[in-house]
């Protein structure tokens, strides 16, 4: 009988733990815990190399996983920003990421991709589709991944 009573107390303690710490996340949505924006030049010229910065702001106590094979190999949903460049736009190098971190926390977490316009666009603008994926976690829970598609419009000067 003592063994059953002990298991009963363990189950009750675990339920209280889940309720107490699960309540911390109630009322939050992943897009409230993590926000991001894109920073680009107002205008660029053909042949100019410029940066597209994706800037994440993550509320205190929460984090997202860095896009490292270490995290991917452990089955974690890593933060990804992927650009679908139209014809006439090229990547210059690979994306620059914050160094030395397996998770990102805080404000102004910046991923930078250099890009170059290599042909003229008749309407003097180029639209670049961007896919953003991240999963928001704290020390107790992880929300389902957020997957969004955005469009960045770059004005091209003559």
Mean pLDDT of 6-14: 52
State the DSSP code for 86.
P
Two structure tokens written together for 109 = 């977490």
Q: Is residue 61 in some structural domain?
A: yes
Q: Is residue 18 in some structural domain?
A: no
Tell me the pLDDT tens digit for each residue of 27-74.
677 778 999 999 999 999 999 999 999 999 999 999 999 999 988 999
Whether residue 49 contacts residue 115, with contact meaning beta carbons closer than 8 Å, is answered with yes
**Residue whose structure tokens are 């210059």:** 92
Structural domain count of the chain = 1
What Rg value do the Cα atoms of the chain yield, rounded? Answer: 21
Q: Is residue 108 in some structural domain?
A: yes
Q: Is residue 64 in some structural domain?
A: yes
| Sequence-distant contacts of 4-10: CB under 8 A, at least 24 apart | none
Averaged confidence pLDDT in the chain: 86
Within 13 Å of residue 100, how many CA atoms lie on the same side as its CB?
A: 0
Report if pTM > 0.85. Answer: no
The CATH number of the domain holding residue 49 is 2.60.40.10
Q: How distant is the alpha carbon of residue 8 from its chain centre? A: 41
Among 149, 89, 84, 150, which residue's Cα sits nearest to residue 115?
89
Mean pLDDT of 111-116: 97
Q: Is residue 4 in some structural domain?
A: no
Task: Identify how many contiguous H helices and E strands the chain contains and give both numbers.
Answer: 3, 10
pLDDT at 12: 53
pLDDT at 118: 94
Q: Is residue 7 in some structural domain?
A: no
Q: Is residue 74 in some structural domain?
A: yes
Q: What domain range includes position 95?
A: 29-157
At residue 17, the 3 state secondary structure works out as helix
Judged against a pLDDT cut of 60, whether residue 148 lies above it is answered with yes
End-to-end CA distance of the chain: 85
Q: Is residue 12 in some structural domain?
A: no
């Amino acid at each position: 009988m003592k063994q059953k009573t002990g298991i009963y107390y363990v189950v009750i303690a675990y339920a209280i733990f889940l309720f107490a710490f699960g309540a911390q996340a109630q009322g939050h949505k992943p897009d409230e815990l993590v926000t991001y924006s894109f920073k680009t030049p107002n205008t660029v010229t053909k042949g100019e190399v410029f940066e597209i910065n994706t800037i994440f702001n993550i509320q205190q106590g929460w984090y997202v996983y860095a896009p490292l094979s270490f995290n991917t190999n452990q089955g974690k949903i890593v933060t990804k920003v992927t650009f679908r460049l139209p014809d006439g736009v090229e990547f210059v190098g690979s994306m620059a990421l914050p160094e030395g971190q397996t998770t990102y926390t805080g404000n102004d977490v910046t991923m930078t991709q250099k890009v170059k316009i290599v042909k003229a666009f008749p309407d003097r603008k180029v639209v670049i589709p961007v896919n953003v994926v991240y999963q928001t976690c704290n020390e107790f829970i992880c929300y389902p991944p957020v997957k969004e598609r955005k469009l960045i419009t770059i004005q091209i000067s003559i």
